[in-house]
């Protein structure tokens, strides 16, 4: 299995007291699957993605990535697994502002000890149509271009699992569509497991499976709107 979540809970403490975001959630994602996670704003999608990717730890339960129990590792241990196995694409691009496009794409390759980091990064940028933009800084790029750099950065180390959280959320519809085509074509080419959080039904429909997060748990079927729920 690429990813397994076993009875995970996530509680946080806030001014209003203890808040349960996820409760007894179970999930199994086979290698190579394209999975969409949908749900209302605030239902916990980003929180769940962060736990599956080892950016955060569950309050209870286990998360396994490629059979490795990341939820029992410390931050350094989780970072090492992330670097070896995972790529990320976020709504807000998350490029480092002080690095050029090329340097942003090179960074995870260098962290992974790849001596051919520069050549690989150049090839990755060419693949997303940005061969002419390698020396640009993020602020010199449009939103769609920044997201293409982020996609190049995510795929260049050939991760086993790609996590994407609303990757088109900050883009206009036409640019978002281009980004989606790019994401799915690179994903198909590499056979990467894709775990995608989205509000967009058309996007979710392109995945093999769609799960809805509601009341802290995942369900196969579309949840009832909150106002109609008993």
Ligand X SMILES: Nc1ncnc2c1ncn2[C@@H]1O[C@H](COP(=O)(O)OP(=O)(O)OP(=O)(O)O)[C@@H](O)[C@H]1O
Binding site for ligand X (CB under 6 A): 12, 14, 19, 21, 39, 41-47
61 touches which of ligand X, Mg ion, none (CB within 5 to 8 A by kind)? none
**Integer Cα distance of 208 and 138 in angstroms:** 33
Q: Which is nearer to Mg ion, 44 or 61 (CB)?
A: 44
47 touches which of Mg ion, ligand X, none (CB within 5 to 8 A by kind)? ligand X
Residue 170 C-beta: closest distance to Mg ion, Å:
12
Residue showing the smallest CB distance to Mg ion in the complex: 46
Stretch 34-63 residues interacting with Mg ion (CB under 5 A): 46
Q: Residue 2: which residues within 8 A CB-CB, separation 6 or more? A: 29, 30, 31, 32, 33, 65, 66, 160, 161, 193
Q: Which is nearer to ligand X, 90 or 155 (CB)?
A: 90
Whether 93 contacts 150, CB under 8 Å: yes
**Integer Cα distance of 73 and 82 in angstroms:** 12
Q: Which is nearer to ligand X, 46 or 192 (CB)?
A: 46
Residue 125 C-beta: closest distance to ligand X, Å:
28
Q: Which is nearer to Mg ion, 43 or 192 (CB)?
A: 43
Residue 46 C-beta: closest distance to Mg ion, Å:
3
Q: Which is nearer to Mg ion, 86 or 121 (CB)?
A: 86
Residue 27 C-beta: closest distance to ligand X, Å:
15
Whether 195 contacts 162, CB under 8 Å: yes
Rounded to 5°, angle at Cα 136 from 130 and 140: 105
19 touches which of Mg ion, ligand X, none (CB within 5 to 8 A by kind)? ligand X
43 touches which of ligand X, Mg ion, none (CB within 5 to 8 A by kind)? ligand X
- Binding residues for Mg ion (CB under 5 A): 46
């Amino acid at each position: 299995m690429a990813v397994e979540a076993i009875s995970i809970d996530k509680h946080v403490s806030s001014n209003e007291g203890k808040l349960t975001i996820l409760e007894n959630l179970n999930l199994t994602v086979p290698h190579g699957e394209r999975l969409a996670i949908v749900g209302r704003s605030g239902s916990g999608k980003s929180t769940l993605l962060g736990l599956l990717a080892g950016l955060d730890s569950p309050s209870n339960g286990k998360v396994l990535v490629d059979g490795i129990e990341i939820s029992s590792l410390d931050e350094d241990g989780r970072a090492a697994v992330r670097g070896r196995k995972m790529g990320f694409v976020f709504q807000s691009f998350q490029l480092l502002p002080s690095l050029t496009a090329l340097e942003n794409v090179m960074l995870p390759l260098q962290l992974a000890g790849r001596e051919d980091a520069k050549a690989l990064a150049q090839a990755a940028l060419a693949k997303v149509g940005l061969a002419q933009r390698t020396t640009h800084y993020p602020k010199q790029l449009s939103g769609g271009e920044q997201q293409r750099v982020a996609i190049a950065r995510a795929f260049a180390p050939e991760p086993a699992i790609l996590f994407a959280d609303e990757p088109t959320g900050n883009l206009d519809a036409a640019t978002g569509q281009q980004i989606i085509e790019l994401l799915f074509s690179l994903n198909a080419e590499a056979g990467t497991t894709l775990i995608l959080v989205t509000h967009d039904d058309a996007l979710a429909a392109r995945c093999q499976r769609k799960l809805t997060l509601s009341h802290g748990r995942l369900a196969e079927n579309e949840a009832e709107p909150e106002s109609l729920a008993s």
